[in-house]
Amino acid sequence: MKAYLAGPDVFRADAAAIGARKKAACRAYGIEPLYPFDQALEGFAPGAVSPAIFAGNIAMMRAADVVIANLTPFRSPSADPGTAFELGFMFALGKPVFGYSEHALPLFERMTDGVGREALVVLADGRSLHFDGLVVEDFDLHDNLMLIEAIMASGGSLHTAADAADPFEACLAAASRLPG
């Protein structure tokens, strides 16, 4: 089985080392990892790097049997938007989607973290209005419902710091149990 490793790990200064650890963990479960950071991008003109990364990632996702997506909040209370795209792309291809997060709190709690519930306006219908004037999604889900429901509908699973000591490894264990 081949797994595309989606997530913002590629933006970390130690992306190669993180990738090496995650790829080794995949192999321990009999999973062949496809890690976007492994693409050879030398020799491209400056304006050609972005399209090359996109094309390479699409090719890797098409070659993968599953995606294991890092949904740990990235530069906001929510998942990395590129990872969200990749999760949706794999769902649209009909492939199992697995997600994990090093964060334990559901999205609603993260949206109010630092603001406090007292800063929210509670509407007559019970929904909460964030200080930005928009309703805060409160389905007790780890992230936006479209991400989480895609994971569940695909036959995959979500693992967070609330339910697993190592959420990434919990995904690997679950993916390794897929038939075929």
DSSP letter string over 145-163? HHHHHHHHHTT--EEETTT
Give the rounded percent of residues in the chain with a pLDDT score beyond 90: 68
Statement: residue 59 has pLDDT above 90: yes
Statement: residue 115 has pLDDT above 80: no
Residue 32: the pLDDT is: 98
Q: Which residue has the higher pLDDT, 154 or 50?
A: 154
Q: Which residue has the higher pLDDT, 92 or 78?
A: 92
Residues of the chain with CATH 3.40.50.450: 2-105+143-176
Q: Would you say the C-alpha torsion 162, 164, 170, 174 has a positive or negative sign? A: negative
Per-residue pLDDT averaged across 96-122, rounded?
81
- CATH code assigned to 2-105+143-176: 3.40.50.450
Q: Would you say the C-alpha torsion 97, 103, 109, 113 has a positive or negative sign? A: negative
- State the chain's mean pLDDT as an integer: 92
Q: Would you say the C-alpha torsion 103, 106, 108, 113 has a positive or negative sign? A: negative
Q: Of 84, 19, 82, which Cα lies nearest the Cα of 53?
A: 82
Beta-bridged to residue 66, according to DSSP, are 3
Distance (Å, whole) CA 69 – CA 113: 24
Return the number of other C-beta atoms located less than 10 Å from residue 140's C-beta.
9
Q: Which residue has the higher pLDDT, 2 or 113?
A: 2
Distance (Å, whole) CA 170 – CA 98: 10
153 phi/psi in degrees, rounded to 5: -70, -25
Q: Of 74, 81, 83, 82, which Cα lies nearest the Cα of 102?
A: 74
Distance (Å, whole) CA 51 – CA 56: 8
Sheet holding 66-70, edge to edge: 32-34, 2-6, 66-70, 97-101, 158-160
Residue 149: the pLDDT is: 98
Statement: residue 117 has pLDDT above 80: no
